[in-house]
Amino acid sequence: MDSTVPNCSWIVREHEKKELTSSKEMFPIEIARTARRFHRQIPGYKMSPLVSLPRLAAMFGVGGIWVKDEASRLELNSFKVLGGSFALYRFIQDRLGIPDKEMNYKYLISKEVKKRLGDITFASATDGNHGRGIAWAAQKLGHKCVIYVHEETSVRRIDAIRSYGATVRIIEGTYDDAVRQIVVDGKENGWEIISDTSWEGYRTVPTWIMQGYSTMMMEIQEQFSGQGIARPTHVFVQAGVGALAASVFGYYHSLCGQKAPRCIIVEPENANCLFQSARIDDGNAHQVGGDLDTIMAGLACGQPSEIAWNIIKDTADAYVSVPDYIAARGMRVYATPLKDDPFIISGESGAVTLGALLTIMKQHGMESLRQALQLDEDSQVLLINTEGNTDPLQFRQIIWEGSNPVPKEYWFDRD
C-alpha cells in the first residue's frame, strides 16, 4: 500500500512473520553478548535510559511511548560510538588473531597491541556522529584518524570531531561524495576505512558496526523486562544508510521470530533512499540524487548500505517519508513535556521518529496508515533518540526561535 498526504508519504509492506535466516546469521545473540561485554569495559560505560512518556501516549491514543535516550551515551551524545568502537575491536582482534576470551579493553589500548599493530590510520566519511565516534575510539586506542565530511556539515560537528584529535577534510558535494572520495584516498594512503555503509567488496566492517549496536538492543530488552514488558509492539527507527534500522529490525527478528514487533522506517523526504528502494520494489537498493538538503544531518544519505538493505527489505513493515518540520516538531515536543513526563534533549535526527508517530496518530488523512500498522491503545511503541544536542546553534534556532515551523493547517489543535 503506497499513500501520500500533502506532508507525508508512506509504503506499507505485508510480510509473513517467520524465522529469517539472514537476521539470525547477522545478529546472533552470542555476538550481541560479545559486543556488550566489550562495551561494559569502556571507562564511563553505563546503560542509557529507557524512559516512558505516559501522558503523551495517553494524549495520542497509544498504550505506551518508550524512548531509548542515547543523548547520554558515554561522552558523545550519540549511539554511533557503540558501532565504531566495536568495529575497531573486531578489526584489531582479526588483525592480531586474538580470540574473544583473551580480548579485553585494557589489552586493546595497551602498548603491546600498539607495537604489534604498528602505525595505523583509521578513516571514515561522516555526517557527524559516526565520524566523532571513530575519532573518539581511535584516540582511546592511540591511533591516527582521518575523517571526511561534506561541505554542508556544520562547523559545530566538525569541531566536535577535531576535539578527539582527528584530521578533518571537507569534500565538495554530499555525504555520498565524501564516501566515494575516502575510498579512493584511503587506498592511495593505506588507511583502514571504518565505514558504516557498505559497497561491493566492503561488507565486513559495516557488519561489525551494525553488530556493535546490539549492545543498545540488549539494554532495551533488559529495561523492558524490568517494566514487565516482553517486547515492544512497534519500533520506529530513523534511517540514513540504514545501518541502525537494520540492526534494530534484525535483532528483533533474530530474537523474536514470528513475534517480532512491527518495524517502521522514518526518513527525510529529500534523502529517502530506503523509501524509494521500497517503492521501486525490485529487491535492490537504489540511490536518490539531489543535494540531500535536510536539517537531519545524520540522515542526509542518498545511497543505502547494501547489507543493511538486505535485512530491511525483509523486515520493515512500513517506510515513512517526512518533511523537516516533522523532526522539528519532535524536538519541541521532547523539550516541552506534558506534566510528569520526562524532559528529553534531542537533535533533529533523534526526534524525527517522535514527530512521525504523533503525525500518524493525529493528522487527518493518516487513518489508513494507523489501521495498517494497528497502532492503538494497546500499542507499546519504541523510539530511539539517536542523538542529543550535537549542533547547538541549530538546536537553539529550532527550540528557541521556532525555525522549521509546522504549517498551520497541520497543527494538532486546530479542531
State the catalytic residues. 80, 127
Q: Which residues contact 263 (CB under 8 A, 6 or more apart)?
A: 234, 235, 237, 245, 248, 249, 252, 315, 316, 317, 318
Q: In whole angstroms, what is the distance from residue 344 CA to residue 52 CA?
A: 11
> What is the distance between the alpha carbons of residues 266 and 401, in angstroms, rounded to a whole number?
25
Q: Are residues 372 and 318 in contact, defined by beta-carbon separation less than 8 angstroms?
A: yes
Taking the C-alpha atoms of residue 284 and residue 233, their distance in angstroms, rounded to an integer, is 28
**The three three-digit cell numbers of residue 324, written as one number:** 523537516
Edge-to-edge, what's the strand order for the sheet holding 144-150?
Answer: 167-171, 144-150, 121-126, 192-193
Q: Is 262 helix (H, G, I), strand (E, B) or coil?
A: strand
**Continuous H helices in 5-154:** 21-26, 29-40, 54-60, 80-96, 105-108, 111-117, 129-141
Burial 133-170 (b: 16+ CB within 10 A, else e): bbbbbbebbebebbbbbbebbbeebbebbeebebebbe
Angstrom distance (rounded) from CA 342 to CA 223: 17
Q: Count other C-beta atoms under 10 Å from residue 283's C-beta.
A: 10
Residue showing cell 537553539: 396
C-alpha cell at 378: 494497546
- Any residues with CB less than 8 A from the CB of 271 and at least 6 apart, and which? 240, 288, 292, 294, 296, 299, 300, 301, 302
| 312 in Cβ contact with 283 (< 8 Å) | no
171 close to 177: Cβ distance less than 8 angstroms: yes
